[in-house]
Structure formats: structure tokens, C-alpha cells
Chains A and B, each alone.
Chain A
């Protein structure tokens, strides 16, 4: 669906035209039907990568192909592509209904009033139809963006930090809408800082660091990247064995982790010392853990 090969982007900034390397040989591949997440720190190059994939930014060098074509502004390629930018990049002078109608009309397909009204009703925007986007909350604006994906059969959807600044209720609604669009067969490329959300939605992840993809894999592989640990919560009464790690004290209670092979040693220790154990469960590596480990390892190698 999307191929980016060795993409370099650099900007010239300031009076001295200092070179700023935004992408440094970025390569990635998104398959048809993926829910693909671009993860990285601020300034890692996620948004720049997305702009290149969308054709909004011309790479300095390298190749980008979306559905077999090089993305060019406003080309026919976008017939089945939708993009939800960060908050301010909508036509703020239009009302909710006007914006929905306008964005739909740009797809060169006739959309009935009923279809527009139905989708606004479904997204809970019907009562705000006449409200200008400049006066809408971020959640409402994002719903206007989502409306176009529901009106047209979008094959490829790009989301740039879609849930930043949204309240938890709207995030949940938004997540459900994304799941529905994905289930309809759309490929989704999302760029987000919220790793827990990516864990819930994405099936493939690319971790970007300093303008380069350091890891690109199935989410499941990244979640089980490290050896498995047990997470334990107990009340110690003195010194603790060496194999207990990641110790975090909350009052008299200790939250810690132990390697899987030391589980029976830990059970003996708590039994012999007469300690009360509140919780003991298999602890899987989170995307956050993997992310930090990969970025740290990558930098150490560099």
C-alpha cells in the first residue's frame, strides 16, 4: 500500500541557512489493511514522514509510493485517501455542515443531503450543524474529519496526532469510529505519542528516532520483545533478594518485578518470611518499555 525507501528530508533554517536533517534515510512499508502506527519522540520526524507520504512535502531524496504512485498534491490518487490533520488545519470559517459538505464535494462525488445529515447525526454533530469550526472543540473538529471517511469509502486514512487534547470520552468515541473504518477494510496510518492507544488499535508499528525507522514490526512482536517477567505487589519486612527488580514503594507496599525463572524462589521467600502478597501476575513488556529500550539501544550502538 505504501513504500518509503531511503527518504531524506533536510531544511535550511535561520540567517546562516543551517542545515536541519528532518528525515535521515527513512524506509518503511505499510501493507494493505494495516493499522500502522508511527511512534517516536518529539522531533523524531513522524509528522515529516507523514507529510512525505501525503505528498505535502517533497523529500530531498528517496522514493515514496502510495498505492503504486508517487503522491502529488490533489491528484486522482487521493480519490480514496483521507487525512485528518492536527487541530487548526481546517477551514475554520465554515460551519460544521458546510465543512462536511465541502470536504465531501472535493472527492468529486455527489453526496446527498440525507447522507450528510445521517453522518452528522451519527457522530453527534447534528445539533451543531450551524456552528463555525472556529468555535468547535477539537473533538468536534476531528469528528468533521471522520465524517468524510464515513461518507466515502476511504481506502487509506492518515491521522496526525488524532487524539491529542481530546477528553477521554471523545477519545473512546473516536477510537470506536477508527475501529469501524478499519473493519470496513481501510488501511490506517497513525502518528501518535499515546503509546497505550497504539497498543489498543495498531497491528504494526514503526519506531522512528532521529529521522530514521529503527524498528518496524508487528505490535505483538514488540510487546514480547523482552523476556517475560512477573509483576508482584507485596509487603516486605526487611531486606529483599537481589533478583527483585524495578522496585517501587507505595507506603508499606512494594511493587516490583521478578524474572519468570525465579518465581518459585520468590514464593519460598514470601512463605518463609511470612509476607503478605497482594498480587503476582505475568508481566508483559508494554510498547512503552519496548520503545524506550529500542531507542536507548539504538543510541548506544550509534
Chain B
């Protein structure tokens, strides 16, 4: 089994290596880092350098989250669209094993890219003589954990629907949108318009907010770390909580995607 898993992961790495997605990442990475670094060259205070570093690091981490979505989406949709899975499932390699290898491959690539971004941030800290803060590691780990959830969720969506619909669902109809909608309906209800339809709508929005996966499950608790890059002793536990949340989400997405893949009448 390990041999088959390894073979699939190596093939998936070749897929990522030759896809334009990672090329786009490399270009965007260089561009973002380069452009964001320019003002910092003229900084003569430590505070300004820290702010520039924090900004670059934050932009790159957001970018990594988008990229994680792409990694999850493309590995599934491309193989389903090309129907190349016929060549895999007509050999002793089950859909369960292939799907696990797809998640692992995307996670490993994502880990590698987080490593690149973290190392770059540490190098910039040293070059600009800004103290290397533990917050860099914390934010990287937190973003990586969030990336795992996004990878799994995008894989599930790519198995169920067209990639364009999957992207629309993630970008527009996400938990944040339904949270905002719920807050808005609550505000309207509080202002005196307590119609039954609005109350039902509020419950639907709340339900959808709870059901849909969150990118940063403990974002409110760890928001300060993102801006200050300082980690208090009690903050580390949120990484564990996030990991727990993401592992449950990943397992759920994996089993539903597997069920959908096996139920597909035509591979």
C-alpha cells in the first residue's frame, strides 16, 4: 500500500510541478515580495521595517490560502475532466487510496510553500535587523492548518460540482458571508421588523454559518498575533484547537468526496 501511495504522491508532485499554478505562485511570490520590500529599503527605523515585514508576511500568507484552494481544486478537477482516473482505478489502487494521496500531496506542497514563506520572512527579519519573533512560526503554522482545511473542502467541492461552481461557492457563499447575513438580519429584527420570514431567514443563515467550514476557526482569538507577531503562552493552544477542527473537517470532506467518487456512474 505504501508503494502505491508513494507512486501516486510522486505523480501528483509531477502534476503540480508542471502545472501553471505553481509557476503563477512563484511569479506572484517574487512580485509581491519584491514590490512590498521596495519601501522597506528606504526605512531607517526598526518600526517601519517591522511593519513592512508584517505586511509582506501577511500578504503572502493570504496568498498561500488561495493557492491551497487551487491545489485541492485542480488535482481533482483535472483528473476527473481528463478521465485519467480510469487508468488508476483499473489497477489495484482504490479510490480511497488515490484520494488520500491527493490530499497528502496537496498538503505536502502547501507545507513546502509555507516553509519557503517562513524562511523568507526570517531572512528578511535578519537582513532588516528586526528581531525574529515566534509569531512568524505561529502564523505560518496557523495558516498551514487553515490551508489543510481549504484543500480538503475544495477537493470535496471539485468532486461534487464543476470547478467554476466550486470557486463561486468558496469565494461568495462561504461561512463569513452567511455570518454577515445573519448579523444583518438580527439587526433588522432588533430594529422592530420581527416578521416570521426574517426570523426563519436568520435561522437559515445561522445554520449555514455553522455548517460551512471556517478558514480560521479561532481567528478572533489569534488576531493579535497576526498583527504583533508576538505569541503569548496561552495562544499556542489555539493552534491545537485549530488542528483538531481541521482534522475533523478534512476527515468529513474526505469521506464525502470518497463516497461521491465511488458513486460516480462514469469515471
Contacts and interface: CB of A to CB of B under 8 A. Distances in A.
Contact of A78 (B14, B90, B96, B265): B90
A51 interface: yes
B23 to A, nearest CB: 13
Contact of B92 (A57, A75, A88): A75
Nearest to B11: A102
Nearest to A104: B7
A58 B265 contact: yes
Interface string A35-68: 0000000000000000100111110000000000
B94 A75 contact: yes
Interface residues of B, number: 32
B89 interface: yes
Nearest to A134: B18
21 contacts: A54-B90, A56-B86, A73-B90, A73-B95, A74-B88, A74-B93, A74-B96, A74-B98, A75-B92, A76-B92, A83-B90, A85-B83, A88-B83, A89-B84, A90-B84, A91-B82, A91-B84, A102-B7, A103-B87, A106-B4, A108-B1
Given A73-B262, A89-B84, A103 B15 contact: no
A57 B265 contact: yes
A55 B18 CA distance: 31
Interface string A73-116: 11111110111010011111110001001110111101000000
A33 interface: no
B7 A105 contact: yes
Interface of B: 1, 3-4, 6-8, 10-11, 14-15, 18-19, 82-84, 86-98, 262, 265-267
A185 interface: no
B7 A106 contact: yes
Contacts of B19: 93
B94 A94 contact: no
B92 A89 contact: no
Interface residues of chain B: helix, strand, loop or mixed (majority): helix
B92 A106 contact: yes
Nearest to B83: A89
A107 B92 contact: yes
B92 A74 contact: yes
Contacts of A75: 92, 94
A132 interface: yes
A295 B225 CA distance: 75
Contacts of B90: 54-56, 73, 78, 81-83, 158
Nearest to B267: A56
B183 to A, nearest CB: 38
A144 to B, nearest CB: 10
Contacts of B3: 105, 108, 110
A238 to B, nearest CB: 61
Contacts of A76: 92
Contacts of B267: 56-57, 73
A83 B87 contact: yes
Given A78-B92, A106-B7, A108-B92, A89 B87 contact: yes
Contacts of A54: 86, 90
Given A73-B262, A88-B82, A103-B91, 13 more contacts: A54-B86, A56-B86, A74-B94, A74-B97, A76-B92, A79-B92, A81-B91, A83-B90, A91-B82, A93-B14, A94-B11, A94-B14, A106-B7
